[in-house]
Amino acid sequence: MKWAVISTWKMSYEGNLQASDILKNQGNAEEAVLRGIGIVEDDPSFHSVGYSGLPDIEGHVRMDAGFMHGRTLSFGAVGALEGFRSPVQVAHKLAERPTNNFLVGEGAAEYARKHGFEERDNLTDDSYQRYLEESGKLKPLSAYKGHDTVGFVALDRNGDLVSATSTSGLFLKDKGRLGDSPVIGCGFYADNEAGAAAATGLGEDIAKGVLCYQVCTLMKNGYSAQSAASQVVSDLTRSLTKRREHCDSISLICMDKEGNIGVGTNIPFAFVCADDTHPAQLYLAEPAEGDTRITLISATEISGID
Ligand code: ASP
């Protein structure tokens, strides 16, 4: 059976390579997405996830993550979690329980501590310096440039779909602010009978469309992954622009139960995907009149892409 993995932004490239290796060697989708996201959480050169994530208004790196398994529909999530190496690992552990799957703040930290998750101060000199530079010049919340969620969606050879996310959320967000990334149906969703998805962009706008659940519902009803992704993003963008005169950046990756991928976006958006027929490659998706234009990024163009 086919395997496939898709992930958000160029920062996920190395993680996608490692996730692909796991899937290629008969590993499962769960291990693959956790490995892929873990690589990004540990890399201080990415300022929107894990180590060296950008802080909230109080100067604390408070992180959000979500995990969902498409076979059981089990999900786990953490919000505003501070001081741990891998929020997505904690979200994954929370998915084992029948209840109390979504924990935030001190409750999430207590749970992580009790279960022995590695602690780490994710505020680095570099991220604190950016905080000092920007915190004096507050603007209305917007998706800060380069401030993105890592999302992975994978299908393994057993036919299991998994989706997961991890982010430090918006730079200079209010204490306690949650975006879409830890919210089931908004930032992530997986259902073996429909498909799986993960989102990135301004959480408050993504949540208005409950995008990941919506795109899975369309796939369940027979839409191809690509037409479902293009449709939900362009519909929500149109609807918010009409009613509120503005829609912030929204991007979505998804996969159907056969491993076909779809991407919807209202901004230029880089993503990585691999399957049993080709290795991890970086692509650029751009909105194109209700549809999505997707181009392969050549090695010489890679340095110009976020
Ligand atoms: N969705 C994230 C949030 O709103 C940020 C992002 O993906 O850019 O927290």
Q: In the prediction, which pLDDT does 135 show?
A: 81
CA–CA gap between residue 34 and residue 7 (Å, rounded)? 12
Q: What residue's CA is closest to ligand 1, atom 4?
A: 203
Q: What residue's CA is closest to ligand 1, atom 8?
A: 148
User: Is the separation of the CB atoms in 197 and 217 below 8 Å?
Assistant: no
Query: How big is the CA angle at 64 (ends 61 and 70), to the nearest 5 degrees?
Result: 160
CA torsion 270→59→88→202, rounded to 10°? -40
149 lines ligand 1 (CB under 6 A): yes
Return the best residue to mutate from 48, 149, 165 for the ligand 1 pocket (most ligand atoms within 8 A of CB): 149
Q: What would the two tokens of residue 79 be?
A: 């919000």
The bridge status of strand 261-265 relative to strand 250-256 is antiparallel
Q: In the prediction, which pLDDT does 115 show?
A: 98
User: Is the separation of the CB atoms in 2 and 155 below 8 Å?
Assistant: yes
What does the pLDDT profile of the chain (306 residues) look like in tens digits? 799 999 999 999 999 999 999 999 999 999 999 999 999 999 999 889 999 999 999 999 999 999 999 999 999 999 999 999 999 999 999 999 999 999 999 999 999 999 999 999 999 999 998 888 888 765 655 555 545 899 999 999 999 999 999 999 999 999 999 999 999 999 999 999 999 999 999 999 999 999 999 999 999 999 999 999 999 999 999 999 999 999 999 999 999 999 999 999 999 999 999 999 999 999 999 999 999 999 999 766 767 677
Q: What would the two tokens of residue 260 be?
A: 């076909």
The identity of residue 96, as a single letter, is E
CA–CA gap between residue 199 and residue 203 (Å, rounded)? 9
167 lines ligand 1 (CB under 6 A): yes
Q: In the prediction, which pLDDT does 1 show?
A: 78
- Which of these, 305, 298, 235, 303, lies nearest to 271 by C-alpha position? 305
What's the 4 CA to ligand 1 centre distance in angstroms? Answer: 24
**Per DSSP, what are the bridge partners of residue 275?**
4, 278
Q: Which residues contact 251 (CB under 8 A, 6 or more apart)?
A: 8, 199, 200, 201, 233, 263, 264, 265, 266, 267, 269, 271, 285
Please count the residues of the chain. 306
User: Is the separation of the CB atoms in 10 and 164 below 8 Å?
Assistant: no
Q: In the prediction, which pLDDT does 130 show?
A: 87
CA–CA gap between residue 232 and residue 47 (Å, rounded)? 28
Q: In the prediction, which pLDDT does 298 show?
A: 76
Placement of tokens 């969703």 in the chain: 189
Return the CATH number of the domain spanning residue range 4-304. Answer: 3.60.20.30
